[in-house]
């Protein structure tokens, strides 16, 4: 099975295709002045962009791992998530609390999707 890597940086690639599976890096917002809802919106927009680049889309999501820096942010994050996710194609998911690289980052989302 072939491997295709997208948008490599010094540490990681933002997306990797392997056969029919697409792995995305853990994505955080760049505009860190936003609250967790604004950051979640930015993260999900970036995930849409990367999935499209790798030949996938949110309707092909398989799995999502979400880290929030304060577990009480789960409810507002979920408001944005629920509006975004394809209601006929929801992935499996886990959401737990963890400190992230930048203290101003409030949410990080890492997904696996199918191609095609």
Binding residues for a copy of itself (CB under 8 A): 1, 3, 5, 8-16, 18-21, 23-26, 60, 62-65, 67, 71, 74, 78, 81-82, 85, 89-101, 108, 110, 112, 114, 116
Looking at the Cβ atoms of 16 and 34, the one nearer to a copy of itself is 16
Tokens of 70: 């304060």
Q: Report, in Å, the least distance between residue 31 CB and a copy of itself.
A: 20
Residue 34 or 100: the one with the smaller Cβ distance to a copy of itself is 100
């Amino acid at each position: 099975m072939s491997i295709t890597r997208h948008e490599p940086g010094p540490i990681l690639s933002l997306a990797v295709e392997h056969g029919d599976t697409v792995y995305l890096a853990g994505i955080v917002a760049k505009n860190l002045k936003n609250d967790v809802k604004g950051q979640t919106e930015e993260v999900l927009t970036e995930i849409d962009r990367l999935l499209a680049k790798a030949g996938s889309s949110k309707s092909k999501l398989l799995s999502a791992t979400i880290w929030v820096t304060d577990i009480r942010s789960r409810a507002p994050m979920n408001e944005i998530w629920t509006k975004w996710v394809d209601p006929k194609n929801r992935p499996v998911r886990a959401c737990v609390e963890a400190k992230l690289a930048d203290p101003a980052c409030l949410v990080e989302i890492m997904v696996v999707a199918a191609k095609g």
